Amino acid sequence: QQQVKQSPQSLIVQKGGISIINCAYENTAFDYFPWYQQFPGKGPALLIAIRPDVSEKKEGRFTISFNKSAKQFSLHIMDSQPGDSATYFCAASGRMGQFYFGTGTSLTVIP
């Protein structure tokens, strides 16, 4: 059972544009929501993360928006660059610390 649903599966954005990836979860026990970036053949690297007590968190060009009542959260990449081309995973973590990942979004930024 997929505990975290992610969309879109793939995304193509022009350089300088905004990339938006959405995730939804069901388990209200989740209390930590990170986003990871993964390049081919590499392990995931933490980008940014948020807890449910805030609705938005921004770090540089990356912003997480969190809607607790809708059980949804999204990643916004501002001024997208070709170097941002990678696969992005959202995740949700419960009390025991296990991460449940979304299905991933393959982002391509066209120069």
Partner 1 sequence: GAVVSQHPSRVICKSGTSVKIECRSLDFQATTMFWYRQFPKQSLMLMATSNEGSKATYEQGVEKDKFLINHASLTLSTLTVTSAHPEDSSFYICSASWRGTHRETQYFGPGTRLLVL
Q: Which residues bind partner 1 (CB under 8 A)?
A: 6, 32, 34, 36, 41-46, 49, 89, 93, 96-104, 106
In the bound state with partner 1, the residue whose beta carbon lies nearer, of 18 and 45, is: 45
In the complex, least distance from residue 16 CB atom to partner 1, rounded to whole angstroms: 27
Minimum CB distance to partner 1 smaller for 36 or for 84: 36
**Helix (H, G, I), strand (E, B), or coil: what is residue 84?**
helix
Closer CB to partner 1, 72 or 106, in the complex: 106
**C-alpha distances out from residue 78 to 47, 57, 89, 103, Å:** 14, 13, 17, 22
Q: To the nearest whole angstrom, how small is the minimum distance from the Cβ of residue 55 to partner 1?
A: 19
